[in-house]
Structure 1
Amino acid sequence: MEELLKEILETLKSEKPKKITFTIAEAAEYSGIGQVKIRELIARCNTDFPYFKVGARALIDKTALDRWVEKITEEHREI
């Protein structure tokens, strides 16, 4: 029993925390929206696409991306 608990603890320690933000490539893979389209959405004036910048790098919050996809789906919006 003690060995099992030690093994579980080691497994928990070695697991990476789940990401809460995506790069453009990761967001494209996760959402099924192409990288080019995501870059276009980010470049639009007054875009409602959920991203933020860290220096020149754009990051997308996973939860906000999920909400955005739900919203555009409900609106039957073409992107």
Structure 2
Amino acid sequence: MEKILEEILYTLKELQSVKLQNQKQEKLTYSLEECAAISGIGRNTLLEETYKVNSTFPYFKVGRKIQVNKAMFEKWLQEMSKNHTELRGEQLKCVQ
């Protein structure tokens, strides 16, 4: 009986170790909900981006689930911010 309990305890410790290692690994993709939480852009707005014809939004589908590449999403946000700033600058020049 004591030996069985020791084996169970050993197995539980191994499982806990594996779980901790998995938690330390970074995610490579986000869900739309995670993208919305990270960026502050609404989930519906992001969903609209996935349905636009010429959208540059970096998503892909796995079955019915929409996934977004983490690195590409961060780059997309930077590009959108840069383009918006440039467009705003051009609009301001026209007003002056």
Q: TM-score, normalised by structure 1?
A: 0.76
Q: 1 CA distance for matches of 2:45 and 2:30?
A: 15
Displacement of 1:37 in angstroms is 0.3
What is aligned with 1:32? 40
Aligned partner of residue 68 in structure 2, secondary structure: strand
Matched, 1:41 2:37: no
How many percent identity over aligned positions? Answer: 30
Q: 2 CA distance for matches of 1:13 and 1:49?
A: 32
Q: Which amino acid aligns with 1:39?
A: L
**Structure 1: gaps (5+ residues):** 1-9
What is aligned with 1:58? 66
What is aligned with 1:14? 20
Q: 2 CA distance for matches of 1:38 and 1:45?
A: 14
Q: Which residue of 68, 79, 82 corresponds with 1:74?
A: 82
Displacement of 1:27 in angstroms is 0.8
Displacement of 1:11 in angstroms is 7.0
Q: 2 CA distance for matches of 1:13 and 1:56?
A: 28
Displacement of 1:54 in angstroms is 0.5
Aligned residues: 69
Q: Which has the larger radius of gyration?
A: 2
What is aligned with 2:11? none
**Could you give the per-residue CA deviations for residues 3-59 of structure 1, whole angstroms, max 9, x where no partner exists?**
xxxxxxx87961411111001101110111110100000011121001011011110
